[in-house]
A and B are shown apart, each in its own frame.
Chain A
Amino acid sequence: AQKVTQAQTEISVVEKEDVTLDCVYETRDTTYYLFWYKQPPSGELVFLIRRNSFDEQNEISGRYSWNFQKSTSSFNFTITASQVVDSAVYFCALSEERSNSGYALNFGKGTSLLVTP
């Protein structure tokens, strides 16, 4: 069973629009970590944020914000006033304390975001 679901395969927005990328996860652990990574067209994986299961406080970093809700097992990512440079594939990932693979990341399939001028 997939542990991380990113239901939106592709999203296209016009510059300056706000966009939310959804992430739903599944785990039985009480201690776990959630991540968002960005993969721009150049191909590298860029770390954006890490959240542990005990910290449900939402976070804002510039135009980026994250909403973590344990009640709905969601960790959504919002980009405010999107820019062309935000065009990338965004991955949500889960790391579990009791995993048998050393806190390896379980990735969603990614959401491809295209921001057009």
Chain B
Amino acid sequence: DAGITQSPRYKITETGRQVTLMCHQTWSHSYMFWYRQDLGHGLRLIYYSAAADITDKGEVPDGYVVSRSKTENFPLTLESATRSQTSVYFCASNNPPKTQYFGPGTRLLVL
């Protein structure tokens, strides 16, 4: 089906481990985004990408790495997970300034 998907949907990991969250979209949107959702903070931008091989930081980028070798994929890597990175992560995409559509989210628990 066309749309935007995220995997895994749920992940439990331990402090210090590397974790990669995947995001895939089939709309050929130029822009892709990663947000995290935490109670009391709403959603905050981690990183975004304007096109393949073009990425930039958002509001809360520390501890995260992104890449975009293909237009349809935008993986988010936590190089050394910390408990403060326990959150729900949402990927989104669009062709600006049109509406961003979101993936179903990944719930990450760092023990």
Q: Which residues of A contact B (CB under 8 A)?
A: 33, 35, 37, 43-45, 47, 50, 52, 91, 95, 97, 101-105, 107-110
Cβ of B21 to closest chain A Cβ, rounded Å: 15
Which of B64-72, B74-82, B101-109 is found at the contact surface with chain A? B101-109
For the complex with contacts A44-B105, A105-B35, A109-B42, 16 further pairs of A-B residues with Cβ separation under 8 Å are: A43-B105, A44-B104, A45-B105, A47-B99, A47-B100, A50-B99, A101-B56, A102-B50, A102-B96, A103-B94, A104-B33, A104-B58, A105-B33, A107-B35, A107-B44, A109-B41
Contacts of B102 in A (CB 8 A): 37, 44-45, 47
Whether B104 and A43, one on each chain, are in contact in the complex, defined by CB atoms closer than 8 angstroms, is yes
Cβ of B27 to closest chain A Cβ, rounded Å: 14
Q: Name 10 interchain pairs, CB-CB below 8 A, sorted by A.
A: A43-B105, A44-B102, A45-B105, A101-B56, A102-B56, A103-B97, A105-B100, A107-B42, A109-B42, A110-B42
Contacts of A45 in B (CB 8 A): 90, 102, 105
Contacts of B107 in A (CB 8 A): 43
Asked if B88 is an interface residue, CB under 8 A from chain A, the answer is: yes
B51 — nearest CB in chain A belongs to which residue? A102
Cβ of A34 to closest chain B Cβ, rounded Å: 11
The B20-34 residues at the A interface (CB cut-off 8 A) are: 31, 33
Candidates B40, B43, B99; contact of A107 at CB < 8 Å: B43
Contacts of B90 in A (CB 8 A): 45
Candidates B40, B94, B105; contact of A109 at CB < 8 Å: B40
Contacts of A97 in B (CB 8 A): 97
Cβ of A56 to closest chain B Cβ, rounded Å: 17
Candidates A47, A50, A91, A95; contact of B43 at CB < 8 Å: A91
